[in-house]
Structure formats: C-alpha cells, structure tokens
Structure 1
Amino acid sequence: MSQSEPAAATRRSGPSLWRNGNFLTFWSGQTLSQFGAQISELAVPVLAVLLLEASEFEVGVLNAANVAAFLLVGLPAGAWIDRLRKRHVMIAADLVRAIALSLVPVLWVSGVLQIWHLVAVAFVLGIATVFFDVSYQSIIPSLVKPSQIGEANGKLQSTYELANIAGPGFAGWLIALVTAPLAILATGVTYVVSAIALAFTRDHEQRRPAEDHAPLLTEIWEGLHFVFSEKLLRRIVGTTSVSNFFSTMSFTLLPIFLLRELGLSPASMGVIFSLGAVGGLLGAIATPRIVGLLGEARAIPVSAIGFSVVAMLLPIAAAVPAFAFPLLVAQSFVASFTVLLYNITQVTFRQRITPPRLLGRMNASVRFVVWGVMPIAALLAGALGTWLGVVATMWIGAVGQLLSAAFVVFAPFWRMRELPDVHTAEASVPAERSES
C-alpha cells in the first residue's frame, strides 16, 4: 500500500529537535554512554584474547553470554516494560551495568580475574541491556511528536556513529595507557552519567493501569502476533535475523582474526573500527536524502544488498594479507553506511505503525528474533573456529550474510515508494482490555 507524497512530506516535517531542551538532555546522556560503550567493546575482547589467552571456544562463550539475555528474557521483558515507565527502566539498567563493569578492574587488581568472571559480567550486562535497549527503542514516541520520530532516530544514530568513530581510537590509546581492565571502568562512569541525564529527562508516558494488564503470556503473544501479522515487518525481521546470525559468527571470531591471524595490534583494530564508523555517520546523515531519492520502501532492499555483499571482504582479507587493512576498512565503512540507512528506515517504520501500548512488546518481539539468534551463532562460531579454523568460519559467516538480503529483495518493497503509517496486516491484533 503506497502513500501519497504530501502525506510523506507531512510525516517528516515539524519543529527542529535542536530547540527541544528535553530531547537534548536525553540525547546528551545517550551520546556519552554510547562513547563509553565503545571502550568496553574493544577492551573486553583485548582482555580476553591477549591477557587471559582465551581459546576460540571461550571467546564464543563470552560473546554468547553478552547476548544470551535477548533469547532468555527478551519476550517477558517487553511485556514488563509495557507495564512500567520506560525511562525508569533505563535508569535502573544503566546503574546495574555500571556496577557490573566496576567488578572487572577490581578482580584484575586483586589478581584473580579469569575468563569465566568476564562471562558472568557479560551475562549480567546482557540482561540489563535487554531492558535498556527495548525501552530505548520504545521511548522516543513519548519524548517527541510523531512527525519528529524520524529526525530523533537520525540524531541518535548519528551520535552513535560519532561514538563509533572516536571511541575505538580513544579506547586503543586508553588501553595502552592503563591496560584493558582499568579502561573498562571508564564505560561504567559513562553509564552513571547516562542515568543522571535520564533522571532530568521528562516524558509524557503514562503507566498502564493494573486493570488493563492481561496475563503475561497473553501480552507476550500479542506482541509476537503484531510483529508477524504485518507482512512488510515480517520480511524485515527475516533479513535482520539471518544477517545477525551470520554476522555474529564473523564478529565473534573477529578479535582472534585481527589480533592473531593477521597480527594486528589493538590500536590498529581500533583504527579499523573508527575509520569504518565514518561510513555509519555518513549513512545517518545521508539517510533523509537517500530516502527522498529512492523512497522509504526501496531504501530497505537497497541497503540490505549493500551490507550483505560487502561482508565477503572479511574472509577475502585473509587471502590477500598485504591488502588486508584497506579491505577491512572498506568493509566496515560500507557495512556501517548501509546498516544505518537500513536501521533508521525500518526502526522509524516500526515505531510509526505500532500502537503506544504495544511498543515495548513489539520491540522485544523483534529483538527476541533478531538478537535471540546471536548467542546460538556465537557458540557455533566458537565450535566451528576450533574445528574448521577461524578463516573457514569467517567464510561461512560471509556467505550466510550474502543470502540474508533475499527476504527484502524478493518482496513488495520495490513496487512501493513510502511505507505505510498504520498496521496493514490482513490479520488484526487480538483484542485487549480497554485502554486508559
């Protein structure tokens, strides 16, 4: 169902968020915490691979622990979050993450840190991140006007990519200066600052009254039903979940691939991530123009083709080590650019078509599918890396990512320009008790 140009133009118009002090408070806290997260994302694998000498399987278990919560508690988390104030959930999650991360330098200084301590910390971080991320993707409609949702997502993704650019390079320098375990402490500090910023943010969300709560399993089913009854959203979930499964296989072994197979230093690893993240920033900035040129609907398969094809450059880099560094930068750059185009477009679509009472469950249902595959993929990567070797496993991951685009490439997106504003599935959402 295509949409008229005037309606699409109206959707993307509205006052600039640069004049919205409340959103700027929220945005500033998230910007700093996203920057801090880049430090631990580099420091933890460096700590595991170089200082604790983790094996391929142990690295797989560590990565699986970090995302296992999306599979284990992702669905009930969405139902619980829809019963709570999302901003309050985010504050609690930030504080839990800060406390968990602070244990790593304490254990290191005490001389008792082992890989299984990192696994336990990663699992706690993962649970807190489930609640934070589902709330984060659900809170935007309660902070800004409907016409500003796309702009808000674009701004948040832009600063996320700026953090990706500056964070890894700074993290590499900080690791060299104070060692990886102590560098992790910086991430915890940024989570505390994020919690403070959230405490000063105001939203217009109202808690659903207790009499409006259905049994937990009924509410979980309602979220899943909503996601899978929408034909376009079902296609997007298919591409995202398959891509995440195989990209997680590659990402799990990437530290070993870069640090051991290619012999790069942690600083070089950080530089690759930073240079590649420039593509993400440019993708976030260019998304409105690309969407205006191609149309919202067509931007989804175009971007999926981009990030799935360039995945092949990762294992190719092992075959031509003399050109490995530029190939890795190019892969990261193009992947980040196209993933940002894809994510901004599809997340805005999801937020726009979902009734406010279902936002938490919709996002949790999507995350359950597209992130729930990741711990399985991480464990499989560790096993295949041990059995077949790192490079062979990277080839499997690349080919799988190449195939992931099929769900949206062979779909109605090409015949449309704009994505719909309302739920368009033939099946309706099950009835719920009266809303407040």
Structure 2
Amino acid sequence: MATSSRLGLLREPDFGRLFAATALGQLGDRIIFLALPLVAIMALDADEFQVGLLTTMTTAGSLLVGLPAGAWVDRMRKRSVMISTDMARSLALLTIPVAWSADLLTIWWLYTVALFHGILTVFFDVAYISYLPHLVGRSHLVEGNSKLSAIRSVTSISGPSIAGPMVGWVGAPATVLASSIGMAMSGLLAMNIRNREQKPEPSERPQLGREIKEGLKFVLKYPALRAIILGDGIFNLFLVMYQAMLLIFLEREMGLDSFEIGLILSGMGCGALLGALLATRISRRVGHGPIIWIAPLVTCPLTALMPLARPGWSVYVAAVGLASLSMGGVVRVVSQSSFQQALTPDHLLGRMSATARFVSWGGIPLGGFLGGVLGSAFGAKATLWIGAVGMTLSILPNFLSPLRTMRQLPEQVDTSPLPEPDHRR
C-alpha cells in the first residue's frame, strides 16, 4: 500500500495540525489522569472518600454546564473555543505545583482546580467534536475519528508511562506541570489551523432555553441516538466507580508503586491503540450499529479479572482485561461518534454533542461519589466487582434499539422547515 494511501487525512496540513494538537493535549490529560489522584493519595494522604469526591469534582462540569455549553458553542467558532479552553486549563493546572512549592496545597485546592478544569473540558470537548465535520467533511468522519482515537490511544500508553516515573522522581505535584505544558502547546498548535469556520449567524433574538430545548428534542427524537446516550450513561457511571477505586486497589491492596501503576495504565493505552487501528475495519465488517453493543459485550466482563487478582504476577494478567476494555471502548466510541456526527445537521452539532454528553456523562460525578462511598463501606475490591457487572449490563439499551441491525452510517437529517404552501390561484 502506498504511503500516501496509508496517511489519508494526515496529508492534509490542517488535519495534521489538529492531530498534533490532539497528541499534546491528550498527553497532558493522560498525565493528569494518573498524577492528580496520586497528588491526593501520596502527597495529601487522602482516604477513599476524598479520592472519590475528587473524581466527582473532575467530572461535575458535565452536569453544571453540559446543556448550555452546546448552545453557547453553536454561537461561536469552534476553533477559538478549543484554543481558549486549552490555555485556561493549562493555567489552572499550573497552580498545583506552585501551591505545593509554597506549602499551600490542600485537598480543597485540588477540588477547586479539578472542578474548574472539568468545566473547561466540557466546552473543549463539545467544540472539538463539532469541529471535525467542518474540517474533514462528513464522508471522512470514520477515518478522522479513527486517526484521532489512535493518537489518543498512543498518549494513553505514553502518558502513564511518563507520569509514573516522574511521580517517583519529582513527586506528583511537580508532575502536573508536564500536563500544564502539554495543554498550552496544544492550544498553540490549534492557533495555526488555517481552515477557519465562518462565525455562525446570530439569531435575531437568541434564547438559551429555546436552543437547549432544540438540542434535547433532536437527540431524544431518534431511537438510535437515545440508545447511544443511555448506554453511555450506564457504562460511564460504573466505569468511574471502577476507576475511582482502581488506583487505591493497586497502590494499597496490591502494593504497587507509581511506576508499576503507570505500567498497568499504559497497558490500557495499548488496548486503546489497537482498538483505534482496527476500528474502521471492524465497524465495516460487523456493522456500525451492531459493533456499538458487541464491543462492550465481549470486553467488559474481562474487567472482573482485576478484583480476582492477588499480589504478584496475577495482577498483570488482570491488566489484560483492562487493556481489552480500552480496546472495545475505542471501537465503540469511534463508531457511535461517527454515527452521531453523520446524522446531525451542522447547526445542531454543538447542541447534539453537549446534550449527548450531558445525558451520557451525567452519571460520572455520581459514579465518582458512589465509588468513594462504596469503597469506604465495602472496600476497593467489592467496588471493582460492582463496576465490572454494571459496565457489562450497559449493552442493553443499544441491543434493544435499531442499532442492533443498522450496519451503515445514517444520512444527515434535514431539519430545515418546509416551505409555506402557496394558496394563490
């Protein structure tokens, strides 16, 4: 196969810049995924409930601004939103090592930064998802999503493998500085994208409530979209319960150090990379609709290997289950993201993305809170069991929907109003 054929969209300079910006931003995000809880666990000696509450603060933005974010983003240039939120997140994260060096860092400081960072991430993600159809065209959505998922998966491997040793060498608070730098460089790269959208035409009387209602009505109207976001909501609730206790389980019950924890999380990134590389091929062979429920059905039960593990070699066998979960998750997300983007008209992309995120991510803060409560009451291992069962059951909404047999991506819906009838004789 020719190199140019393999590169595909990467031959386009603007997509290449978005690809590079994604790499740096996601690298910073993956470092935070490991470093921020370890700041709480190792530097501040946080207990299970406090770690669960930190996860809640990180993800509470979806509930606080999830719906209005879509309406606001639809009024703005998506590229500008991405740049400004990258820079603001970078500055917020920078305060953690500064506060640590001044002996001012507390768990409440972490909660505040996590909440602010999470709110900005909502705006970034809504703009990011809405921007892709403009940049690559609807006919290249699966390829674009696959390539961006691939680079996110690479950073899922490299992020923890970088963060683990860094936490051991310089401490968790100082490691957050690397994440701040990655976010800033991502914003700088996005500034160089030349293909800029036209600013959306403002409505004569913009009404936030009406615009939010339009997004909700669109998403809830179509059974396949309803099933996707409901299945996502169930999956994310139990995934975050699982993740909230995973680091505590590995560090306190399995006796792993930060490097070993980073190695296991890097294994999850390897699974995600494999999923990204295979997503287009698998979706075409199995069908874009069926793969949305088949992928988690095959991979979610394997997460039960972790609570079965004992200190020693078996924990690394259990890590294969986590890698499988990541692989299935990426295959599912590539297909369902392409499905959502293909169906949605341009002027509703931001609201569709925000509405889907609000519903499907709305349970994430609750998942973090419940993970902390269950971990305190029954222990980290029992919480992992509950998470594994719940993630497996998340296939039901998609299995019971039209997605079960929809092999092709849908056509874009025409939401333009019908012309007024001509009553003249």
Q: How big is the shift at 1:310?
A: 2.0
Q: Which piece of structure 1 moves more, 284-293 or 408-417?
A: 408-417
- The answer to whether residue 345 in structure 2 is matched with residue 355 in structure 1 is yes
* Aligned alpha-carbon RMSD (Å): 2.0
Does the 8 A contact of 2:79 with 2:196 survive in 1? Answer: no
Check whether the contact 2:238–2:391 (CA below 8 A) recurs between aligned residues: yes
Match for 1:396 among 386, 389, 394?
Answer: 386
User: Using a 3 Å threshold, how does the CA distance of structure 1 residues 177 and 119 change in structure 2: closer, same or farther?
Assistant: same
Q: In structure 1, how many angstroms separate the alpha carbons of the residues matched to 2:60 and 2:230?
A: 19
1:8 aligns to what? none
Q: Tell me the residue number matched to 1:386.
A: 376
Amino acid in structure 2 at the alignment position of 1:162: V
- Please state if 1:259 is matched with 2:251: yes
Mapped pair 1:280 → 2:272: yes
Q: 1:372 is matched by which residue type in structure 2?
A: G
Gaps of 5+ in 2: 419-425
Question: Partner residue of 2:401?
Answer: 411
Cα distance in structure 2, aligned partners of 1:27 and 1:322: 38
Aligned pairs for 1:207-286 (under 5 A) are: 207-211=199-203, 214-286=206-278
* CA drift at 1:237: 1.1
Q: Pick from 5, 14, 22: which aligns with 1:22?
A: 14
Cα distance change on mapping 1:314 and 1:409 into 2, 3 Å: farther
2:112 aligned partner: 120
User: SS at the partner of 1:93?
Assistant: helix
1:155 correspondence with 2:147? yes
In 2, Cα distance between the equivalents of 1:415 and 1:152? 24
Identity within the alignment, %: 38
The count of corresponding residues between Structure 1 and Structure 2 is 415
> Equivalent residue of 1:190, what SS?
helix
Amino acid at match of 2:297: I
2:61 aligns with 69
Contact 2:296/2:392 (8 A) holds in 1: no
| C-alpha contact 1:349 1:421 (8 A) present in aligned 2 | no
**TM-score (norm: length of structure 2):** 0.93
C-alpha deviation, 1:14, in angstroms: 12
Kindly provide the amino acid, as one letter, of the partner of residue 283 in structure 1: G
Partner of 1:371: 361
Q: Is 329-338 or 66-75 further displaced after alignment?
A: 329-338
Q: Which residue of 2 aligns with 1:341?
A: 331
Letter in 1 for 2:192: F
Report the residue type matching 2:282 in the other structure: I
Q: Which amino acid aligns with 2:328?
A: T
Give deviations 1:286-334, integer Å, cap 9, x for gaps: 11211222122221121121233223223222xx444532233211211
Distance (Å, rounded) in 2 between the aligned partners of 1:342 and 1:150: 12
Segments of 5+ residues of structure 1 without an aligned counterpart are 1-12
Aligned to 2:44: 52
Counterpart residue number, 2:421: none
Partner residue, 2:190: 198
Residue type at the aligned position of 1:336 = S
User: 2:123 aligned with 1:131, yes or no?
Assistant: yes
> Given the alignment, which residue of 277, 281, 285 partners 1:293?
285
SS in 2 for 1:210: coil
Q: Which moved more, 1:31-40 or 1:343-352?
A: 31-40
- Asked if 1:103 is matched to 2:95, the reply is yes
2:299 alignment partner, one of 294, 307, 311 = 307
In 2, distance between residues paired with 1:392 and 1:233? 33
